[in-house]
Amino acid sequence: MKILVVGGAGYIGAHVVKALLNAGISVRVYDDLSTGQKINLFPQIEFVENTILNEKALEEALTDVDGVIHLAAKKAVGESMTLPEIYATNNITGTLNLLNAMAKKNVKNIVFSSSAAVYGTPQYTKVDEAHPVNPINFYGFTKLEIERFLEWYDRLKDIKFIALRYFNAVGYDETGTVQGLEKNPQNLLPIIMETIVGIREKMLIFGTDYDTPDGTCIRDYIHVSDLATAHVSALNYLLKEHKSQVLNLGTETGHSVLEMVKRTEALIKPFPHENAPRRPGDPAQLTAVAHKAHTLLGWTPTHSALDNIILSTWALYQKHFPQNR
Ligand code: UDP
């Protein structure tokens, strides 16, 4: 079996490729290396360096593949609100190119990286897949629109899909096989790590007056190796059941920002942080119900314990910044 992993040189993509190779599946990676990195390309894979805006190149790359895992997207929430054109083109047009190329080449299976950002501000917690979708940022809107295109391509072109709605992806491969550190990280844990290694002067805690036990926001942090195995299971499900699904991927457990800060300080070392105003668009609490993924895929997270998330991230930062050992 051969799978085309679009965006396979990126942070989540590289972990997915590793999981596919571990499962004995051949991989062709398609990536424009805009945020993906060469260091994330495993020697066993075929690599096509091109953009998803090139439909002809996509068609060619789809030759002799049994399915697609599509992770290529712009994903900075804040940037999506100031540069929506880039998100519309890369995420929506790029995915339509891929779907059109798949239709042409008769490739009928796709696993798509969606996001909990499709839900917007939760109306209840924990959030299941039946929760209304109402994105409050343009990034989430692009993911939701793509899910809707997938539904139509299923009906009209018989392309079956699994949309995986990731909660907060964190951590790095514990075996050290994935070596690329994400460039320009915008998320909590990498920002904490950058503060510890001295790239940043201090870390800001965005909002301490939320309606949560310690006043800071609560999120569902899922280890990227757990996300990765879910893609392999999703692919197997598609090939066996030929049925489209939308699935949450989270741990069903929440951690507050303050908890993340305090646990990291306890495990590694104290670092400068300050309370700051709320960041616009942040819901107080976002945690998943992931029952559907458990039942349909037989998937459960095994890497997502808080200490493992923190220490696996720290291990790679130490490799890249050895003076902090
Ligand atoms: N956060 C923070 N300081 C930072 C970055 C993030 O306090 O420098 C908080 C953010 O407000 C949110 C949580 O950490 O409550 C997770 O944010 P992140 O950007 O990692 O993911 P999001 O949940 O926005 O997708």
Distance CA(182)–CA(158), nearest Å, equals: 35
Selecting among 87, 119, 139, 210, the annotated active-site residue is: 139
Q: Are residues 215 and 152 in the same domain?
A: no
Q: What is the residue whose two structure tokens read 């804040």?
A: 78
- Total length of the chain: 325
Q: In this model, does residue 258 exceed pLDDT 80? A: yes
Flag whether 41 is in a domain. yes
The verdict on 27 and 163 lying in the same domain is yes
Give the 3-state DSSP-derived string for 42-62, with helices as H, strands as E and coil as C: CCCCEEEECCCCCHHHHHHHC
Residue 181 in domain: no
Q: Are residues 155 and 279 in the same domain?
A: no
Q: What is the tally of structural domains in the chain?
A: 2
pLDDT-derived band at 256 (thresholds 50, 70, 90) equals very high
Give me the CATH number covering residue 312.
3.90.25.10
CA separation for the pair 187, 168 (Å, rounded): 9
Pocket probe mutation, ligand 1, options 119, 187, 309, max atoms within 8 Å of Cβ: 187
pLDDT in tens, 153-192: 999 999 999 999 999 999 999 999 999 999 889 899 999 9
Mean pLDDT of 281-305: 96
Q: Between β-strands 67-70 and 46-49, what pairing exists: parallel, antiparallel or unpaired? A: unpaired
Q: In what order do the strands lie in the sheet with 285-286?
A: 255-256, 218-219, 285-286
Burial group, residue 213, by CB count within 10 angstroms (0-12, 13-18, 19+): exposed
Please state, in angstroms and rounded to a whole number, the distance separating the CA atoms of residues 100 and 139. Answer: 22
Amino acid 323: pLDDT: 81
- On whether both 214 and 147 belong to a single domain, the answer is no
DSSP 8-state class, residue 163? E
Query: In CATH, what number is assigned to the domain containing residue 117?
Result: 3.40.50.720
Rounded distance, CA 58 to CA 71, Å? 14
Q: In ligand 1, which atom is closest to the CA atom of 216?
A: 15
Q: Using the 8-state DSSP alphabet, how is residue 91 labeled?
A: I
Tokens of 285: 């609490």
Same domain, 95 and 233: yes
Q: Is residue 323 part of a domain?
A: no
**In a shared domain, residues 75 and 102:** yes
How far, in Å, CA of 100 to CA of 80, rounded? 25
Q: Are residues 117 and 164 in the same domain?
A: yes
Residue 176 is assigned to a structural domain of this protein: no
Pocket test for ligand 1, best of 113, 170, 188, 273 (most atoms within 8 A of CB): 188
Note whether 122 and 265 are same-domain residues.
no
Q: Within a domain: residue 215?
A: yes
Q: Which amino acid is residue 265, in one-letter code?
A: E
Ligand 1 center from residue 187 Cα (angstroms): 6
- Say if residue 215 is in the same domain as residue 225: no
pLDDT at 325 over 80: no
Please tell me whether residues 260 and 239 are part of one structural domain: no
Ligand 1: residues within 6 Å at CB? 77, 168, 186-188, 191, 203-206, 217, 219, 257, 279, 282
pTM flag (> 0.95):
yes
Identify the domain containing residue 196 by its residue range: 188-219+252-288+299-318
Q: Element (H or E) spanning 160, and its range?
A: strand 160-166
Across the range 202-229, mean pLDDT stands at: 98
280 falls in which pLDDT band (50, 70, 90)? confident
- pLDDT tens digits, residue range 128-141? 999 999 999 999 99
> Per the domain annotation, does 158 fall within a domain?
yes
Q: Quote the pLDDT of residue 184.
A: 86
Q: Which helix (H) or strand (E) holds 73?
A: none
What average pLDDT does the structure give for the chain?
97
Q: Which two tokens mark 127?
A: 């959030």
Asked if the model's pLDDT at residue 298 lies above 80, the reply is yes
**What pLDDT does residue 315 have?**
97
Residues 22, 45 share a domain: yes
**Separation between Cα atoms, residue 124 and residue 320, nearest integer Å:** 40
Distance 230 CA to ligand 1 centre (A): 24
Is 119 assigned a catalytic role? no
Which amino acid residue places its CA nearest to atom 11 of ligand 1? Answer: 206
Whether the pLDDT of residue 216 is over 70: the answer is: yes
Helix, strand, coil shares of the chain, percent, nearest 5, are 40, 20, 40
* Domain-embedded: residue 261: yes
Q: Are residues 153 and 211 in the same domain?
A: no
| Residue 281: band (very low, low, confident or very high) from pLDDT cuts 50, 70, 90 | confident
Residue 144 located in a structural domain: yes
Ligand 1 centroid from CA 244, angstroms = 31
Phi and psi based region of residue 244 (left: phi greater than 0; alpha: psi -120 to 50; beta: remaining): beta
